[in-house]
Structure 1
Amino acid sequence: MPKYYFVMASKKFLLCNEPTEEILRERTNYYNSIKKPIDFWLVKNPKFLGSLEVSEISQKLNVPTAAIISTNSLFITWLKLRLGFVVTGIFTKDIL
């Protein structure tokens, strides 16, 4: 099963308070320039993740959440350092 890494925060923080759109646009442009397939996704209200750990995080936040999911652990680590107030995690799924 493939491993997926994520950063998760409140939807307001991730989509309004941080330059997430710019970060993802620049990353997309870079991937396109080197002809690499996109390996990350922005997901609002990531309830489908389904793992107990993620569910507990969502409940603690008690607000709508958003997540950036990737198969690239280094990208997620970089996002954690860049964004700061996010939660990171890992999960495995056959199909998203």
Structure 2
Amino acid sequence: MTTYHYVLASQRFLLEEEPLDEVLRERVRNYQEQNKEIDFWLVKQPAFIEAPEFAEIKAKCPQPCAAIISKNSEFITWLKLRLEYVVKGEFEAPSSSIPDPIASLEAVSS
């Protein structure tokens, strides 16, 4: 099992009120320069919050929500400090309640 770290907030906050796209583009560029594998994902309506252990967090987070999920705890801590109005946490996956750590509940449009 792998430990995944996340910040979770409303989609509106993460995608409209914060210049998150700029932060993520810079992070991708930095990873590419270092030939480092991408270890973070922006997920709209993350499926992991449907796991029973996340019921309390889901109830507190405005919907629809979005998460940045990463294997890198330092990156998530940095995002928490930068973004302020997010929930920070971690989970292990794959598990019986979280089979796919970066799955989304959002319907994919064709």
Q: Same fold (TM over 0.5)?
A: yes
With structure 1 as the length reference, what TM-score do the two structures score? Answer: 0.91
- Tell me how far apart the structure 1 counterparts of residues 13 and 62 of structure 2 sit (CA, whole Å): 13
Contact kept, 8 Å, 1:51 with 1:91, in 2: the verdict is no
- Larger RCO: 1 or 2 (CA < 8 Å, sep 6+): 1
Contact kept, 8 Å, 1:40 with 1:71, in 2: the verdict is yes
Unaligned runs of 5+ in 1: none
| Residue 23 of structure 2 is aligned to residue 15 of structure 1 | no
Deviation at 1:54, TM superposition (A): 2.9
Contact kept, 8 Å, 1:42 with 1:68, in 2: the verdict is yes
- Tell me how far apart the structure 1 counterparts of residues 13 and 90 of structure 2 sit (CA, whole Å): 21
- RMSD, aligned α-carbons: 1.3
With structure 2 as the length reference, what TM-score do the two structures score? Answer: 0.80
| Residue 67 of structure 2 is aligned to residue 60 of structure 1 | no
Partner of 2:84: 84
Determine which structure has the larger helix proportion and give its number.
Answer: 1
- Tell me how far apart the structure 2 counterparts of residues 52 and 88 of structure 1 sit (CA, whole Å): 17
Unaligned runs of 5+ in 2: 101-110
Instruction: List 4+ stretches of structure 1 deviating above 4 A.
Output: none
When Rg is computed on C-alpha atoms for both structures, the one with the higher figure is 2
Secondary structure of the corresponding residue to residue 16 of structure 2 = helix
Q: What is the aligned length?
A: 95
Structure 1 vs Structure 2: percent identity of aligned residues?
53
1:26-65 equivalences under 5 Å are: 26-46=26-46, 48-49=47-48, 50-65=50-65
Q: Which amino acid aligns with 1:8?
A: L
Contact kept, 8 Å, 2:3 with 2:92, in 1: the verdict is yes
Q: Which amino acid aligns with 1:67?
A: A
Deviation at 1:52, TM superposition (A): 3.1
